[in-house]
Amino acid sequence: MVAATTLATVPWSDGPTGLPRRTEPAPQGGWTLPEDVRLVPSPVHVRRDAAGDLWVTHGAVRMVRCGRPGHIELPDDTGPMLDVAVVSERSYGLMDRVDEGARVRWYLDGAPAWERVGDFRTLLTDDGRVWTVERHGPAVDERDAGTGEPVRTVRRSLDAGEPFVVDGRLYAVFTDVDAGQRGVEVVEPDGTVRRSPFAGTEPYAWLVHPIGFDAAGRPYAVRDGSVARVTADGRVEVVGDVGDLSPRLLRVDPDGQVLFVVVGEGVAVRSLRLGG
Amino acid sequence: MGRSALTHATPSGDRRARAAERTTPPRRAGTATGLTGVLALQRAAGNAATATLLGRDRRDPAVRVQRSAIADHMKTDPSQVTDAQLDATDEFKALMASAKPPAPKVKAEEARLALRLLLRYLNELAPGTVFAPHDLDGWLRLARSRSAVAAKAEGAVGTGEWVPLSPVDVRGPTTSGSDFMKWMLGGGAVPAVATVKGNCWEMVMFSAFRAGQITEDRMREIYTKGQAADKARGGFAFPETIEAELRSGAEYVYDPAKAGSPRPLRGDIVIFKTAAGHVALATGKTVGGEVEIISHWGPPHHNLKIETTTIEELLKSTTGPVKFWSPRW
C-alpha cells in the first residue's frame, strides 16, 4: 500500500497567505433536533494550474497558492462555490450558485472577462481552454476564454457521469443500467465518442463518486478510504489509502497523483502517488 | 397439494377494484394466448377478426406470434425489466390498444409504469399466491396518478424555499417557518406554489395534493397524528409518523455500487436513512447513469429551491441507506 505524503499546508489566517477559518452548518435533514445542529469546516477545493502549482479555496475571501506566495481575491458577492478552475494567478474561473442557477465568471489578466448563468454542472480547463458542462443534458461547450462564446459543442452520452478533461478529451464513467455495466466514455474534440465497458461487478462497485482520471484515461476511485484504479481490461488495482477522506475532495493529476485535502489545524493538501 | 390463494391483481386503493378473491382458474405464466390480449384485440378489431386470427394461429405455425407475459418477469425487480421486455408482453399490447376515443391515448411510458407497478405488486404477494387476469385499466389509472404527482413536483422545480422542521414547529405551528406546517396545524391558508416554504416531505405531500391524489383532510389527519406522537414521545416521533403514514407496500434499498440493484419507479417516495434525514420523489429516470429525483433541500448544490438532482449527487452530502417504496396517498 502506498502511504500519503503532505504536499503543502495552508494556515488558517486572515492574511493573504492563509485561508480565513470558515464553518458552515452541517446538512440538516428534514427534521432537526436542536442538539443535532452543528457547524463543520467548509469544504475545500484543490486545483492545479497550468504551471503545476496547487490552489486551494473554501469559497470565501480568496484562493491561495501553495508552495509560493500568491492568492486570488474572490468577489464579495460570491455565492456558495460549486466549482473553480485555475490556469494561472491572472486567469481563472469561478462557478457559484445564484438564484437563477449556476454562474460562471471567467477572469483574464486578473479582470472579469465574461459571465454566464445557466444549467452548469462543472467548469473545466486545460491548457487555457475552457469548457462548461450542462447539468441536465448532454452538451459540453468549449468556450472562447476571452468572450465566453461557445466555439464548439460536443455531446456526451446520456448515461455518462461527471466529466473530466485530459489533453482536450472529455472522460467520464458511464453506467449502462440495463446491462449492469460501467465503463469509460471518451469524447474526442471532434465529437467522436468511444466507449469501453468493463465486465464484472467489481469495477461497477468501485466506479461511483468520487472518481478521477489520469492521462492514460484510467479511472481512479475511493471507497471506504481506499484508493483504486481500473485498468483498461477492467482489473481493479487497490493501491493506497486516504483514511477518513471527505469524498468530494478527491482530485487526480494526469500523472496519476491523487490529491486530497485534510482540514485540521490548517488545510493540508496530501498526495498519493501510485506506481505504474 | 393444498390450494393456493387466488388473487385478482388490482391496484390497492382502486375504488373500481372487483372482489379480491376469485375462483376462476389462474392464468398460467407465459401461455401462448393471453386473455387480456385477446380482450384488447376483440375491442380493437372485433369478434370476427379475433376469431379468424386465433383460428389461423392454431392452424398455421408460420403465423404464430412469439408472446410474452408480465408474469414471465416475476421475481425480477420491475426496474430491472427493460422497456423492450415490457413492450413485448401481451399486457403492454393490450394496454396500448385499450383506449378508444374520446379516452386519451395510452402513452408507452404510462403502460410501462403500469406494468412495472403490477409486477412489483405480484412480487410482493405471499409465496404460493397465484393470480387471475389483471385489472390493467386499474394499473393504468394508478400509473397515471403517480405520474401526475411526479409531474407536479417536476413542474415546481425552481420554486419554493426549503426550511427545516423541528419539534418547535410542531408544538407552535402558528409561528412555524414552514407555510405547509402553518396550513396543516396553524390555521394558515393554502400556500402559494411559487413561494411556499416547507421541508422535503412537505414538497412531496404538496405535490400529491396539487395532483389531486391526497386531500387536505388526509394530510391534516397525518400531521395531527404526528403531533400527538410528538407530544407522547418527542424526538423523531413526528417524522416517523409521516414515514409510516405515507408508506405502502414493501421497502426496497437502492445501492449505487451494486449492479442490478432495485431502482425506484416514477412516483416512489425515496428516503435517505429515515424520513428525518431526507425525503424525495423519484422521477423514474436515470440521468448520467444516476437515479433522478425531485428534491427540496439545500444539498447538493446549495439550492433551497425545489430541484432536479440524483440520488448519487445527494450521497455526496449525506449518507444512506437509500430506501424507497410505493406511496400511500
In chain B, the residue whose alpha carbon lies closest to the alpha carbon of A33 is B166
**Region B241-249: what's the mean pLDDT?**
95
User: Is B65 part of any domain?
Assistant: yes
Interface test with B, best of A24, A31, A95 (most B CBs within 10 A): A31
In chain B, the residue whose alpha carbon lies closest to the alpha carbon of A157 is B288
In chain A, the residue whose alpha carbon lies closest to the alpha carbon of B307 is A101
**Region B45-55: what's the mean pLDDT?**
44
Residues in chain B: 329
- Per-residue pLDDT of A59-92, as tens digits, reads 889 999 998 999 999 999 999 899 999 999 999 9
Task: Please identify which residue in the block is written with the cell numbers 403514514.
Answer: B245
By three-state DSSP, how is residue A139 classified? strand
**Region B107-115: what's the mean pLDDT?**
97
Q: Does B199 touch chain A (CB under 8 A)?
A: yes
A247/B236 CB distance under 8 A: no
Give the domain range for residue B207: 156-327
pLDDT number for residue A262: 83
CA A103 to chain B, closest CA, distance in angstroms equals 12
- Per-residue pLDDT of B138-189, as tens digits, reads 999 999 999 999 999 999 999 999 999 999 999 999 999 999 999 999 999 9
Whether B262 and B216 share a structural domain: yes
Q: Does B257 touch chain A (CB under 8 A)?
A: yes
Whether B173 and B310 share a structural domain: yes
Kindly tell me if the per-residue pLDDT of B22 is higher than 50.
no
CB B162 within 8 A of CB B37: no
Whether B207 and B317 share a structural domain: yes
Residue B77 CB neighbour total at 10 angstroms: 17
CB B147 within 8 A of CB B267: yes
Kindly tell me if the per-residue pLDDT of B49 is higher than 70.
no
User: Is B1 part of any domain?
Assistant: no
- Per-residue pLDDT of B198-216, as tens digits, reads 999 999 999 999 999 999 9
A32 contact residues in B (CB cutoff 8 A): 164-166
Predicted model pTM: 0.85
pLDDT number for residue B128: 79
Kindly tell me if the per-residue pLDDT of A165 is higher than 70.
yes
Whether B139 and B198 share a structural domain: no
Give the cell for residue B159.
420554486
**Average pLDDT score, chain A:** 90
**Region A17-34: what's the mean pLDDT?**
82
User: Is B220 part of any domain?
Assistant: yes
Whether B78 and B207 share a structural domain: no
- Chain B stretch 63-102, residues whose beta carbon is closer than 8 A to a beta carbon of chain A: 82
In chain B, the residue whose alpha carbon lies closest to the alpha carbon of A183 is B289
pLDDT number for residue A129: 92
CA distance B327 to B149: 11
Whether B219 and B247 share a structural domain: yes
CA distance A144 to A132: 11
Whether B60 and B167 share a structural domain: no
Kindly tell me if the per-residue pLDDT of A190 is higher than 80.
yes
A208/B256 CB distance under 8 A: yes
Whether B166 and B298 share a structural domain: yes
B308 contact residues in A (CB cutoff 8 A): 136
Please report, rounded to a whole number, the percentage of residues in chain B having pLDDT higher than 70.
79
Confidence of residue B218 (pLDDT cuts 50, 70, 90): very high
Domain A5-26+40-272 top-level CATH class: mainly beta
pLDDT number for residue A40: 78
**Region A100-128: what's the mean pLDDT?**
94
Q: Does B164 touch chain A (CB under 8 A)?
A: yes
Confidence of residue A150 (pLDDT cuts 50, 70, 90): very high
User: Is B33 part of any domain?
Assistant: yes
Q: Count of domains in chain B?
A: 2
Kindly tell me if the per-residue pLDDT of A267 is higher than 50.
yes
Residue spans of the domains in chain A: they are: 5-26+40-272
Single out the residue in B148, B178, B207 at which a domain terminates: B148
Single out the residue in B148, B181, B198 at which a domain terminates: B148
Whether B163 and B306 share a structural domain: yes
In chain B, the residue whose alpha carbon lies closest to the alpha carbon of A208 is B257
**Average pLDDT score, chain B:** 84
| Ramachandran angles phi, psi of B327, nearest 5° | -80, 155
pLDDT number for residue B28: 34
Give the cell for residue B130.
397465484
B256 contact residues in A (CB cutoff 8 A): 208
CA distance B229 to A107: 55
A27/B318 CB distance under 8 A: yes
CB-nearest partner of B276 from A29, A102, A206 = A29
- Per-residue pLDDT of A231-261, as tens digits, reads 999 999 987 888 766 555 578 888 888 888 8
**Region A220-224: what's the mean pLDDT?**
88
B284: left (phi over 0), alpha (psi -120 to 50) or beta: left
The CA angle B25-B85-B282, to the nearest 5 degrees, is 100
pLDDT number for residue A266: 87
Interface test with A, best of B85, B278, B292 (most A CBs within 10 A): B278
B275 contact residues in A (CB cutoff 8 A): 30-31
Instruction: State the ipTM, two decimals.
Output: 0.88
Kindly tell me if the per-residue pLDDT of A99 is higher than 90.
no
User: Is B307 part of any domain?
Assistant: yes
Whether B188 and B294 share a structural domain: yes
Whether B138 and B278 share a structural domain: no
Whether B32 and B123 share a structural domain: yes
